[in-house]
Amino acid sequence: MRLRPPNAFRQSASHAHRAQHVLEEWTAQHHHIMNHAILQWVLLLAFAEQIHSRTLHFTIPEEQEAGVKIGSLSTTYLAPYRLLDERYIRVDESTGDLFTKERIDRETLCPSHQDGDCVFSDTAVVSIDHEVVPILILVDDINDNAPVFERNVIPLHIPEDASIGTAFPLDDQAQDKDTGDNGAIRYYLEDSGGFFNIRQDRHELELVVQRQLDRETRENHLLVLVAADGGSVPLSATANLNVTVTDVDDNCPEFDADSPTAAIVPALGVKGTVVAQLKATDKDLGQNAQITFSFSRQISDRAKVLFHMHGHTGLISLAVDTQLDSPEEHTLKVFANSPLCPPAQTQVTVYMQPAMSPEPSLKIKFVAEHKNRAIVLQENEPPTVLALLELEDTSKGTLSLDKDSVPFSLKPQAGSYLLSTSKPLDFEMCGEYEVTVIISDPHDTRLHRREVIKVLVEDVNDNAPKFEQARYETDIRENNEPGAFLLRVQASDADSHQFGKVRYRLTNGGPFTIDEERGVISVVESLDRELQETYVLTVLARDGGEPSQEGFANVVVNILDLNDNPPAFPTPHFYFFVSESIPQLSQVGKVSVSDSDKGENGRIADVRILNDEVPFAIDLLQGSLRSIGEVDREKQDRYELLVVAVDGGSPVLSATARMTIFIEDVNDNQPQVLLPSSNLSCLTISPATRAGSMITKIYAIDEDSGMNSDITYQIIATKPALESPFQIDQQSGNITLVQHLRGEDHGMHHLFIVVRDGGRPGPLQTAVWVNLLVNETLEKCQVNAVPDYSPPRLPPPMPVRDRRCESNAWLVFYCGLCLMAISVCVLLAVVVVFMKRRKTKRKVEKKNVWETGNLCEMKPLN
């Protein structure tokens, strides 16, 4: 029976099978192949009953187009769905629908000629719990094959004395690849003429003699043998049966009683090994030379391949080297042929035992991807079913994992074992695992075998590049050579190959550049600390994954100072204006000096005035120029200084600047009267002096400058206090006679004259007496003492220059008064006119009649 039992069944069935095949029992109990087949079926069904609740059954007719829906897993199980074997069928991962993948020919799938279901199995892994579900798919037969005869002409010899009812075996049976009724062949004869009939008994086909034969009357009978199958539309084949009636005086061969009927082939059979030596005798011949042995055409194809029959000697030997996985049993029907005789037949059952391996072999059904018997799994996958492990013979042992086999687990399920990972694998920790499966048998302690399953972890880009430091800090001197090396950064990526290959990039490079491969940062251009003192670069490391992962680090670059900047004055030439009255040590002005370098290089170590002996000094602390001595504009009205500033760097850098200090005047000098040289000076004037002539002049000087030295003269008082005939010109100090001298003007005139400068706010002044003697004698006059006079108070400065403006002011005042007066007059006039008009209006109201007429025309009427 060449049924292809489902895997789940096979273990149990082969277990039963093995149990039966103790050789002694074989020969004793199972002479016929059918016995074995029936037993196997019973066992199979019993087992099927046990697991019925779990196994899913589907049925499809053969010869269906690819893509036909067979059924669905979704009625029983939850998504997702997967199939371990997608050779014939496939499953929709989400809906659980099963479809055929190709046209399935039952006869190709199950090449056996025997009856029986054509079933193939698969295993589905369903739901997120990875539940394993066995699937059985039954391929239903259709009558797509006609019976076939191997030969078109079948020769047959029958002795003429064969009594009615004698049956002669027909070895030429037709083959029909279909199963069940479609493959059940019914034979009958056409045109037998009543001599023969066909008897069909299970696998035997015999020609039965129906009427007495007579060779002398008819030697040859040509019959047509029809083989028709049992399909609903039967298919048939024919062969010509050529029956030759032979003489009676022949004896035909017979197998000897001691010819073997059973044989055993050792585990490893070598080609040519003797299987059995058959013996047959023909009494006529006395020797067997004329007898030829042959296998029946009905022996299995497998037997035809395995065994060789030596036609003359009857020696059955192995035709090929054999190495069996499972026990085999072959029933060889053998004929002993002799010319003109119906053949004698016997049967030899050959038992073939596989090499007895004490350990059941481990069968691995890979669920996960696999290569060369190694499971390949991506890292970081959640716990995953890797494979379904099965022992070829479950009764022979159980499976367990070696305790070192972490992180893997083995769970028994439906007679198999599920090998899964118990946690995500990390390629970076371990790229290759060897999972040791221990096969042990609780009943047989000798049985303890290990089998190693390799699990290769595939790298996934799950690691980002990581810098050795999150922050790097480095220094570089300014004014560096372009292209100078700065720093090397390095990031590592735990992933392998391309995933771990790191490339560097600066996100904000500025004057820096990075070597993409090596992480070497260099400076492209010369740096100037005075422009930027610190750079914070961000280095990005990116690996070669798709998508890639990134890591960052900051690089702080401090630019170190060099003394490359001299001190700087804000201007090359300072101008200061300072009052000559400036007190000592007071500030003349700010003198700021800057140096853009840093530290000592930027410290202003000294600021000095290079000139000797000047009343100024630099106050370094305050950054100012101070006076340190007296300044007198009247002595020196400006100072030209040269100032130098030096920094504290090495080498020392310096800068110079010029300073011009203008000394501003202060009204610190009162006018000095040079003429008259004394209060007692005297001048004699002739009474005949004409009016308007200039008498004398006061001459005074003021050492100050500007307004401070602008001198005016004024006569404050005269003695005697008469109306003085003398007048003084304010500006020039010219004293003139303004009117003709009269008699009473004779004698001494003392003029008290104030000499005043223009300083503001308080002008300085001095006073002088001018003594004039009017006498015709023109003697030299003598003044012994000046009159006793003191000005009551400091006379207010007379705004000499503004006199015109003052008169203007008066004019404005008078004009204002006039305007006011005019305004008042106009207002009064308006009021008067208004009052008058009102009276007129009232009159007009009383004389309404006139209004229509022309006022001019009506005048005469008035």
Which residues contribute to the site for ligand NAG (CB under 6 A)? 678-679, 694, 697, 729, 732, 734, 746-747, 767-769, 775, 777, 779, 786
Q: Which is nearer to ligand NAG, 75 or 782 (CB)?
A: 782
Q: Which is nearer to ligand NAG, 694 or 844 (CB)?
A: 694
Side-chain half-sphere of 126: how many Cα atoms within 13 Å? 25
Q: Which is nearer to ligand NAG, 439 or 685 (CB)?
A: 685
- Output Rg (C-alpha) for the chain, integer angstroms: 72
Q: Which is nearer to ligand NAG, 443 or 780 (CB)?
A: 780
Give me the least distance between CB of 613 and ligand NAG, in Å please: 37
Give me the least distance between CB of 733 and ligand NAG, in Å please: 8
Give me the least distance between CB of 679 and ligand NAG, in Å please: 3
Give me the least distance between CB of 767 and ligand NAG, in Å please: 4
| Residues contacting residue 742 through CB under 8 Å, at least 6 positions apart | none
SS3 state of residue 9: helix
Give me the least distance between CB of 721 and ligand NAG, in Å please: 16
Q: Which is nearer to ligand NAG, 412 or 747 (CB)?
A: 747
Could you identify the residue written with the tokens 């029976």?
1
Q: Which is nearer to ligand NAG, 587 or 679 (CB)?
A: 679
Q: Which is nearer to ligand NAG, 449 or 746 (CB)?
A: 746
Phi, psi of 316 (to 5 degrees): -95, 125
Q: Which is nearer to ligand NAG, 90 or 746 (CB)?
A: 746
Give me the least distance between CB of 802 and ligand NAG, in Å please: 19
> Residues 648-668, buried b or exposed e (16+ Cβ, 10 A)?
bbeeebebebebebebbbbbb
Give me the least distance between CB of 716 and ligand NAG, in Å please: 10
CB atoms within 10 A of CB 533: 15
Q: How far apart are CA 653 and CA 562, in angstroms?
A: 11
Q: How far apart are CA 645 and CA 595, in angstroms?
A: 10
Distance of CA 277 to the CA centre of its chain: 80
Give me the least distance between CB of 807 and ligand NAG, in Å please: 20
Residue 602 is given by DSSP the state H
Give me the least distance between CB of 793 and ligand NAG, in Å please: 14
* Token duo for residue 600: 């000592």
Q: How far apart are CA 218 and CA 216, in angstroms?
A: 6
Strand intervals (E) in 11-145: 56-61, 69-72, 81-83, 89-91, 97-100, 118-126, 131-140
Q: Are 261 and 350 in contact (CB under 8 A)?
A: no
Q: What angle do CA 698, 699, 705 make, to 5 degrees?
A: 135
CB atoms within 10 A of CB 172: 21
> Residues 537-549, buried b or exposed e (16+ Cβ, 10 A)?
bebbbbbbbeebb
Q: Which is nearer to ligand NAG, 481 or 779 (CB)?
A: 779
Q: Which is nearer to ligand NAG, 164 or 694 (CB)?
A: 694
Give me the least distance between CB of 789 and ligand NAG, in Å please: 7
CA of 212: how far to CAs of 192, 196, 232, in Å? 13, 10, 38
Q: Which is nearer to ligand NAG, 299 or 754 (CB)?
A: 754
Give me the least distance between CB of 786 and ligand NAG, in Å please: 6
